[in-house]
Amino acid sequence: MARTRDLILEEALKLFSEKGIKETTVRDIARAVGITEGAIYRHFESKDQIVHELFEKYSGELYDRIEKALRDSGDEEGKFKRVVEAFLDFAFRKPDAFRYMNIFHHLRGKEVKRIRKIPFNLLSELIGDLHRKGILKMEPEYALAVVTGTLERVFLYKSMGIIRGRKKEIREKTAELLWKGLVECGGS
Amino acid sequence: MARTRDLILEEALKLFSEKGIKETTVRDIARAVGITEGAIYRHFESKDQIVHELFEKYSGELYDRIEKALRDSGDEEGKFKRVVEAFLDFAFRKPDAFRYMNIFHHLRGKEVKRIRKIPFNLLSELIGDLHRKGILKMEPEYALAVVTGTLERVFLYKSMGIIRGRKKEIREKTAELLWKGLVECGGS
Amino acid sequence: MARTRDLILEEALKLFSEKGIKETTVRDIARAVGITEGAIYRHFESKDQIVHELFEKYSGELYDRIEKALRDSGDEEGKFKRVVEAFLDFAFRKPDAFRYMNIFHHLRGKEVKRIRKIPFNLLSELIGDLHRKGILKMEPEYALAVVTGTLERVFLYKSMGIIRGRKKEIREKTAELLWKGLVECGGS
Amino acid sequence: MARTRDLILEEALKLFSEKGIKETTVRDIARAVGITEGAIYRHFESKDQIVHELFEKYSGELYDRIEKALRDSGDEEGKFKRVVEAFLDFAFRKPDAFRYMNIFHHLRGKEVKRIRKIPFNLLSELIGDLHRKGILKMEPEYALAVVTGTLERVFLYKSMGIIRGRKKEIREKTAELLWKGLVECGGS
DNA sequence: CATGAATGAGGTTTCATTCAT
DNA sequence: TATGAATGAAACCTCATTCAT
């Protein structure tokens, strides 16, 4: 079945995000899927291919969602908030994927360049835009640091139980808080 | 010599922070130090001991610096800014250690509980304090996410060359930006 | 093949009984079987598992044979002699296993307790029985020492060429000699 | 100090007899003595030298005791019993040495031939003598098996707590039991 | 497509021994 | 004599990958 291929990706993602990439063996993946090691190689050339394909898959997915959020929106505030919420929505819906993307980034940062759809770039452009239009006074690099850092941590603290509440509420609070903090207050 | 022990820690830190923990072999460390693999085991019981000792060492060091910053300060604003700056100062002075601590956290989060001096806890208390005193209106969990996330990213973007400038300047800008964004703007 | 697993056990037994357990390396075993070291670990989790499995296997086998000898017999004298002969029969047929069991006992005595089928226990019960019935006058602990010690040595001296003769003859002589020496002569 | 040399032998003996020869490291020995590994090599050329020296030392000591017992005795019965008691006396006084000699024999049987004073040989001659003189009717090889086997087991069961009682009592009982069993009953 | 045994390279660890001090 | 750091060989074990079935 073509389904097996997806199952492999699915289970690999789970394991990678829980234990780390190197810490997860091909055997672990095979057992989780319910097949044997050899069978993995009918679907993928190597473990590394799984690793990369997973990153590109979810990277692309998140990219597309953010792009959509950018298109569908109205004014600048709406745009910003929608993007932030799209990020968190993705993280909450697919926590394994979000965690995995961070792990991958940390360990294989250099390999990321070959990939086209990098969510970070959209965020970076959006913030650059806001700055160019005079809406965001603060230096955009710092704003980028605040936004990406906060998003990652909100997700992390939510999955650790430090931040509680309904997902929708968390998304909205975070978007509001970032907009206020960066745009309404941030002089340079 | 007792010197060798420190050299091992030093080179291990460098390698771990560059390539990851599992990705670094004992042989890598030995070669970097200029000894053989076996010699490592005269100084450490296992690779894992090196991994843990490094985390505790730098965790403790950062903890102590933040504690000192908390003691030496004046009003609440000064306290907050000083702590933020202490964090970044540590990160800029010992980037390998800072990067390593993040890697360790990501992968071995559960093992962190056994350790006493966790910098995160000081930050957490400080922000809890500010909230209790009515200075910080925002929910403290979110503020914590903003602060820790931003600190990590400012460091990261600086080491990637995205954020430029003198270290002192970066520290001060970041502290200012966080204080304004969280305290002066953050309604609930 | 499931065959490989048995081959590993077979060759390991041979080597352990010749050279000792610690003195035999996993590579030795692999070479004897004609595979690589790694392949061993597809069949056993560790060298120690091989060590234990071998002991339990042959311990159980000897146990079962003695139990059978106890069931099939007639009067007390027949019972005793049959058990003695069963012991030696096993030792002569599977000298490696018998030697190995002794080695294991000497070195890992404490680990024996976890095992259920211990041939020694059957012998101990039989002799206790004979004593309770008044057939054996001597203190049973001493009788046990004489029997187990003699059995081990007869086997040893036979394999060293000190004792010669057909196996059947040796078995019968030993049984006769022990019965006479212990029962017919042994006052307390 | 020349004393250190003896301490090394003493502690090595203890460790070898407890854990086995290969299972005891040079470091174990050094630590037990309270010196460092390197110091061992001031006194011995190699671990193997310790192993051999220990065997020869205690082998010789037991040999001499038995020889003395043979000289000091009266009639054949006295001779036999005295030798048996000398064996057990040695075993009870120096259990580590006795246990070690057995371990050594099991593992390095072939290396024993180079050694001159082998207690087994005295026993063997004594029993041969008894047989030649018509006192012992049984084939001497079997008698040897009974005697050596019983001695080893009586010692073993005593140190395991299976056989209890004062040492003198055990020695006498064993000697009596063997004499009766072998000589007074043993027809061929 | 799938199995599962096997490979082979490489990982961590152990340990008898050497050697500068 | 003694130290203790270091070596180097070899031990046990892991794992991505291949391959006959």
Q: What is the pLDDT of residues A116-149, one digit of tens each?
A: 899 999 999 999 999 999 999 999 999 999 999 9
Please indicate whether, in this complex, the C-beta atoms of B149 and A151 are within 8 angstroms of each other.
yes
Exposure string over D121-144, b if 16+ CB within 10 A, otherwise e: ebbbebbebbbeeeebebbbbbbb
Q: What is the mean pLDDT of residues A91-96?
A: 97
Eight-class DSSP state of B182: I
Q: pLDDT averaged over chain B?
A: 93
Contacts of D16 in chain C (CB under 8 A): none
Superfamily of domain A1-44: Homeodomain-like (1.10.10.60)
Helix, strand, or coil here: B139?
coil
Look at residue A42 in the predicted model and tell me its pLDDT: 95
Residue C15: pLDDT over 60: yes
Model pLDDT, residue A110: 86
pLDDT of res. A144 = 96
Whole-number pLDDT of residue B187: 56
pLDDT at B167: 96
The nucleotides of chain F lying under 7 Å from a protein CB are 1-20
Segment B66-71 shows an average pLDDT of 92
User: In the prediction, which pLDDT does C185 show?
Assistant: 75
Q: Which residue has the tokens 């006479």?
A: C180
Given a cut of 60, whether residue A187 has pLDDT beyond it is no
User: Which chain E nucleotides are covered by protein, judged by CB under 7 A?
Assistant: 1-20
Mean per-residue pLDDT of chain A: 93
Chains that contact A by 3+ CB pairs under 8 Å? B
CA atoms of C145 and A70, how far apart (whole Å): 89
Does B176 have pLDDT greater than 60? yes
Closest residue (CA) to C1' of nucleotide E18 is: D38
pLDDT at C84: 96
Give, in degrees to the nearest 5, the angle at Cα C147 between C144 and C151.
140
Indicate if CB(A52) is under 7 A from strand F.
no
How many Cβ atoms from other residues are within 10 Å of residue B52's Cβ? Answer: 17
Query: How confident is the model over C78-121, as pLDDT tens digits?
Result: 999 999 999 999 999 999 999 999 999 888 888 898 889 999 99
Q: How far apart are CA A171 and CA A65, in angstroms?
A: 15
User: What is residue B33's three-state secondary structure?
Assistant: helix
Tell whether the model's pLDDT for residue A177 goes beyond 90: yes
Running DSSP on this structure, what letter comes out for residue D129? H
Q: How far is the CA of A174 from the C1' of F4 (A)?
A: 58
pLDDT of residue B73: 74
Are A92 and A155 in contact by the 8 Å Cβ rule? The answer is yes
Domain layout of chain C by residue ranges: 1-44, 47-184
User: How many whole angstroms separate alpha carbon A124 and alpha carbon A101?
Assistant: 17
pLDDT in tens, A40-62: 999 999 999 999 999 999 999 99
Q: Sort out which chain D residues have CB atoms less than 8 A from C22's CB and list them.
A: 20, 22-23
**pLDDT of D9 strictly over 90:** yes
Note the Cα D95 to chain centre separation in Å.
9
Quick: pLDDT tens for B45-62.
999 999 999 999 999 999
Q: What pLDDT is attached to residue D108?
A: 87
3.40.50.620, 1.10.3720.10, 1.20.120.10, 1.10.357.10: CATH of B47-184: 1.10.357.10
DSSP state of D146: H
Could you report the per-residue pLDDT of C115-153, keeping only the tens digit for each?
Answer: 899 999 999 999 999 999 999 999 999 999 999 999 999
Q: Tell me the pLDDT tens digit for each residue of B2-36.
A: 699 999 999 999 999 999 999 999 999 999 999 99
pLDDT for the residue numbered D188: 52
| Per-residue confidence band for D79, with pLDDT thresholds at 50, 70 and 90 | very high
Band (pLDDT 50/70/90 cuts) for residue C186 is low
DSSP annotation string for C114-140 = G-S--HHHHHHHHHHHHHHTTS--S-H
CA–CA gap between residue A177 and residue A85 (Å, rounded): 12
Beta-carbon count within 10 A of A143 CB: 27
Question: Is the CATH number of domain A46-184 1.10.357.10?
Answer: yes
| Number of C-beta neighbours around residue D42 at 10 A | 10
Q: What's the whole-number mean pLDDT along residues A160-184? A: 94
